[in-house]
Chain A
Amino acid sequence: MKAVEAPGDARAEWEFLHDLVHNVTGPERFCDD
């Protein structure tokens, strides 16, 4: 639950990063280290 709804296309930074990592590295990169 959000206290305030973000305006426009604003999203949490981790969501942008998650999409970026997913698209650039592929889903398998989330599993290894």
Chain B
Amino acid sequence: MKKTLLLVSLCLGLAAAVGAQNVQLNAAGATFPYPIYSKWFDDYHKLHSNIQINYQSIGSGGGIRQLMAHTVDFGASDMPMSDDQMKQAGFAILHFPTVLGAAVPSYNVPGVTGSLKFTQKALAGIYLGTITKWNDPEIAHANPGVNLPGNDIVVLHRSESSGTTFIWTDFLSKISSDWKGKIGANASVNWPVGLGSKGNEGVTGLLKQTPNSIAYVELIYAIQNNIPYGDVQNASGAFVKATLESVSAAAAGSAKDMPDDFRVSITNAPGKTAYPISSFTWLLIPAQIQDAAKRTTIVNFLKWMLADGQKDCEALSYGKLAPAVVAREMTAISKIQ
């Protein structure tokens, strides 16, 4: 019985494979969404055995470069492409948000066990180097009853370029004109203070060892490794703890004002429940795709990703796209020609 079933399914599979044209797509880019992308591409291959999507997580910058050089069919990036880059590419590139990520402030302060609250001014001050002690009034006022030591703050950051650094510095640029003018937002910046360590694991490793330190960590990494982190004050003044829901709320909050090309930063988004240090990660898709088979495949995949694919988000700790964003993306798919 089992054997015949196997045979039948094999024949069906063969028939499907023969019936449809084989399509192979190559993509490259961001490392942050790699776990969910590889699951998506794998699941999609199981659903459509004739379609194979190869994704190399070489980093957002590499993804953009390869897309510009036409060595991949589409790219992926944790940062929207700049106007300069769009011009440099020489062909139209569409941005499609796929999932959400966030950066959270984690800390190691001896004697402090509960969750700390960080005002926007406090975070900007700490990372600019203007707030140097843990018992600075800017931190102490937001945390009444917490016994903060008068020790020097050891500021930690990622040494390698990363999307997490981009989210963090993008947020700091929005809330502090000093930061925007002197440092700016990028995957790696000219840090005014602090020590760098490589990767989430390097930063959290150093954080655990170094008393009185603070670091920003990718939300997924913090959740999966049970790393405690503090609440951050959002645009409406409320202190919000980063969760998958509060990150999605940030996307929902900014859905109304979102430009049609989705090249938008959603840090410090409006909404009482929105976590302010959140960001999309994007697929970068050429607006014109000559090969009809590839075009259809990409369009179908995007539709599947926005519907069924989103269900994988929670299991892998990614923020889900808000329904309002999904609806707008569905209409934007028709721009692919």
Partners in one complex: no
